[in-house]
Amino acid sequence: MKTSNSFSISFWLKKTAKKKNGQIPIYARIRFEGILADISVHRSTIEECWCPISGKIDHRAKGAQEINKYLDDIHAKLLECHRQLHSEGVPITSQAIKQRYLGKDKQFITLDDIFRYHRTHETSRLEKSTVKNYSATEKYLKRFTKKKFRTIDVNLPIIDYTFILEFEDYLRKCPPICKSQPLNNNGIMKHMERFKKLLGIAHKFGCIPQNPFNFYKMKFEEYDSDFLEEDELIRLASVKISENGIKLVRDVFLFACYTGLSYIEVKLLKQKDIVKGIDGEQWINVRRKKTKTPVRVPLLFQAKQILDKYSDYPNIINEHSLLPVYSNQKSNKHLKSIAKLGRINKHLTFHVARHTFATTITLMNNVPLETVSKLLGHTKLSTTQRYARVVEKKISKDMGRLKDLLNQKGQNSSVQNSDGFTPLRVVK
């Protein structure tokens, strides 16, 4: 069974571990450059049935065929372990081959190992809301594996392209963890994105030969978030609210509508972030929490009014935060109540404020798309285009100006055709 001058695999009986019934354990021996490593194969036989020359059980013995085939399989797996280590450029020793065969050279063996590593080493760099999302993905995966394999954990080699497709199909049909938040297509794709990242970690550590997501394509659907129109903004600002907590959420939301800041950026906004701009006026100067992109936004009058309203709030205890901001979940809950009070028939969430800034506050007031992109802190113009939709009112205003221009040109022109139509003059 020798494979080279420096590497060989053989099987032998460990007679020092002979059992009372005469059975002797069979061991595999790896020899690499004169160094030995032994592995129990969890099979045994009596000495009379063992052939030390072939390293197998005599074919005439009872059960010989089954055990010999099992030994052949182990021999093939050990050869494959040697091949893997060689192809990976890893230093080869008899112990390294043994550890690879036993799976102990890999940091992760099961799916749960990946989640454990992610919780220990990755979550410190993530926002709390993102960590919560990974927990949801883990719950769905464990539900899926329990249904399919009757266990909440599986070995990584089981996870292949078919596993991924079946998990996606499961997400589309299973009851949601939170009944109030059913899984839509984009929500399912976010779970698949997180699953892909986890398997990517396993691949980087050499625990799987390749990420099965290499063959999988995410299928996100285009989604247009709601935004408030000018009359709705006025209605929201003027609606009478008796409860102070809900009133506070309304004010913070309106501040976001007039600055374009996201929830976390409003929450982290400090006195030091208000600076004097190039025009001598007050500007907001921050970095986007998500991308670390610098953002400079002129402090509009409406936003400044809200800051003045809460001017007594910043202090050393709250690290000089400019506004008292509730949790995103609580804010969104109050925004639903505010929408009812303001007779706004839209799904109001804090993120709607950012879309409102992009459309109603800037684009509808003829701020160029490139400028809007800078104000939102986007690195790509295509990202801004998803926020700043050219709405019908904008089209109507633009076409109205075009009509006025054409009418003016028509009145100034003395050239008319027989039908009384005044054509445009082509300027060369």
Write out pLDDT tens, residues 106-121.
Answer: 678 899 999 998 998 8
Task: Tell me, yes or no, whether 65 and 117 share the same domain.
Answer: no
**pLDDT at position 121:** 87
49 & 133 share domain:
no
Phi then psi for residue 39, to 5 deg, are: -135, 130
Q: What is the spatial distance between Cα 144 and Cα 267, in angstroms, rounded to a whole number?
A: 37
Tell me whether residue 402 is in a domain: no
pLDDT of residue 428: 44
Residues 6+ apart with CB under 8 A from 353: 253, 254, 256, 257, 260
- Residue with more model confidence, 293 or 383: 293
Please check whether residues 360 and 260 belong to one and the same domain: yes
Q: For residues 56 and 74, state if they share a domain.
A: yes
**Tens of pLDDT along 366-399?**
888 899 889 988 888 877 877 666 666 667 777 8
Burial (Cβ within 10 Å: 0-12, 13-18, ≥19) of residue 133? middle
- Do 247 and 349 reside in the same domain of the chain? yes
Cα–Cα distance measured from residue 133 to residue 138, given in angstroms and rounded to the nearest whole number: 9
Q: pLDDT digit string (tens) for 329-366?
A: 899 999 999 999 999 999 999 999 999 999 899 988 88
Same domain, yes or no, for 122 and 53?
Answer: no
For residue 393, give the amino acid letter. Answer: K
| C-beta neighbour count of 270 within 10 angstroms | 13
CATH label of the domain that carries residue 345: 1.10.443.10
| Residue 30 belongs to a domain | yes
Does 125 lie in the same domain as 16? no
Query: In the listed set 72, 102, 132, which residue is the last one of a domain according to the structure?
Result: 102
pTM over 0.75: no
Same domain for 155 and 33, yes or no, is no
- Is 270 inside any structural domain? yes
Query: How many distinct structural domains can be found in the chain?
Result: 3
CA distances from 333 to 175, 182, 231, 280, 305 (A): 23, 17, 23, 39, 25
CA distances from 34 to 6, 25, 206, 252 (A): 7, 23, 28, 73
Rounded Cα distance between 414 and 422, Å, is 8
Instruction: Look at residue 282 and tell me whether its pLDDT is greater than 60.
Output: yes
CATH number at residue 199: 1.10.150
Cα→Cα distances 133→142, 191, 222, 401, Å: 14, 8, 21, 48
Q: Is the pLDDT of residue 222 over 90?
A: no
87 and 116 part of one domain = no
Residue 427's pLDDT band (cuts 50, 70, 90): very low
Based on the fold, state whether residues 252 and 307 are members of the same structural domain: yes
- Domain range for 242: 230-390
Evaluate whether residue 83 is within a structural domain. yes
**Strands 35-45, 24-32: pairing kind:** antiparallel
Q: Which residue has the tokens 């950012």?
A: 354
Phi, psi angles (nearest 5°) of residue 27: -120, 150
Is residue 173 domain-shared with residue 253, that is, in the same domain? no
336 within some domain:
yes
Q: Does residue 406 lie in a domain region? A: no
User: What is the distance between the alpha carbons of residues 236 and 338, in angstroms, rounded to a whole number?
Assistant: 8
Residue 96 reports pLDDT greater than 90 = no
Q: Are residues 239 and 285 in the same domain?
A: yes
**Which tokens in the block code for residue 46?**
């009596």
- What are the tens digits of pLDDT across the range 159-188? 999 999 999 999 999 999 988 788 999 999
| pLDDT in the model for residue 387 | 67
Where does a domain end: 102, 121, 156? 102
